[in-house]
Structure 1
Amino acid sequence: MTRPAIYSRPNKPLTIPVRKRGEVAPLATIEAPEIIAVDRATECHVTPDDVARRMVDYLGPQGDYLTLEPSAGTGQLARALIAAGHSPQELTMIERHHKLAAGLHLIGPTINRCFLEYAGEVKGSAEFPRIIMNPPFREARRHVAAALSLLDRGGHVEPATLVALVPVTFEHPEAEHLETLPPDTFSTARVHTKIIRMRRD
């Protein structure tokens, strides 16, 4: 009995479907999921994109201003600053949560510290003509006070400016009330908040 050759072609022709150039099906776009919640230990409520953009607008025109973002969280305000033309090299972010701080390093210079401790240590030696912040709501008064201790014109003609997102109960004699935000602004908490601005010559 003769064994068939393993390399012999079958009686029917072999066909392989071939697409013309340019007919390759496009790959589906894959987008990274947006972070909308952070574990409770961070006390971080992520600022929505539209709110972050308005806060940057309230801060004033972009320029060579050293800008501070205390308790930077996921970096929403920092991204809005950079999108508006602010240089990442003139931005300092402070974040005490290790995982959040690790992500912020991809945006710009980040200090992994408690902001209250940082402010106490650098008071008198560091000054920022621009500060933008969404502080922990339960500690808003302490964080704003610490930020104000670092607010200074730094040689600029324009007043030093701080813009903050705070609970509606927050009061300060220097605060200019810019807008009240709806209670569903944050997906992780129903908190009544507002945006304020403080300026110092």
Structure 2
Amino acid sequence: MIRPAIYTRPAKPLTIPVRARRDAPALALATVPEVIAVDRATECHITPDDVARRMVDYLGPVGDYLTLEPSAGTGQLARALIASGHSRNELTMIERHHKLAAPLHSIGPTLNRCFLDYADDVRGKVEFPRVIMNPPFRDVRKHIAAALTLLGRGGHDAPATLVALVPVTFDHPEAEHLETLPPDTFSTAQVHTKIIRIQRS
């Protein structure tokens, strides 16, 4: 037989000791790195940040130079230009692929068209004292040739300067070889590359 006493409440209320709870430290918000997905059909090989910075340095000192980036891609070279003090208002970016061109408008003036067609249209009408480019490797000769038709001092005393990232096999009689890049500079392209500069007085 069960005793009724075991169902009765104790005379004193039960107390459970609880330690003072300290405020938990605020959690730091994790920053997710920007993921840039590039369709292989674009032939866009993203210039690493450190390489882009050096290419900008090779252009020469900051000034009121109209600057052309003929194959703007994801805007790496344009960002490096602006970060070094160049004005976005003097920068013209050309990018033929819609998905790549759309975000570039937040960086600076962008034309969504083929650079080779653009060069044909404006040749003799505009001069760019500065050109910085990472052209499609497959058509590198056509793109460099087109860019050189737009290269001019534009009223400046300093020489007009083109800096380009090209395959090591590219050669041009006016090109100064500035540096050879490591073989793993572009993980998506099995192409050894270098940086060149062409200056015209």
TM-score (norm 1): 0.87
CA separation in 2, counterparts of 1:18 and 1:154?
70
Deviations 1:14-70 (A, max 9, x none): xxx9977xx6614323234242x5111101000001110110010101111000001
Within-5 A mapping of 1:99-114: 99-114=99-114
User: Who is 2:9 aligned against?
Assistant: none
CA separation in 1, counterparts of 2:148 and 2:71?
14
Letter of the 2:73 counterpart:
G
CA separation in 2, counterparts of 1:92 and 1:31?
30
User: Who is 1:123 aligned against?
Assistant: 123
Within-5 A mapping of 1:26-175: 26-35=27-36, 37-175=37-175
Q: For the aligned residues, what is the CA RMSD?
A: 1.9
CA separation in 2, counterparts of 1:81 and 1:66?
12
Displacement over 3 Å in runs of 4+? 17-20
Instruction: Report the count of equivalent residues.
Output: 186
CA separation in 1, counterparts of 2:114 and 2:22?
59
Cα distance, 1:106 vs structure 2: 1.1
CA separation in 2, counterparts of 1:56 and 1:167?
19
1:149 match: secondary structure: helix
CA separation in 2, counterparts of 1:193 and 1:32?
26
Structure 1's unaligned 5+ residue stretches are 1-11
User: Who is 2:7 aligned against?
Assistant: none
CA separation in 1, counterparts of 2:163 and 2:154?
17
1:56 match: secondary structure: helix
Letter of the 1:108 counterpart:
G
User: Who is 1:4 aligned against?
Assistant: none
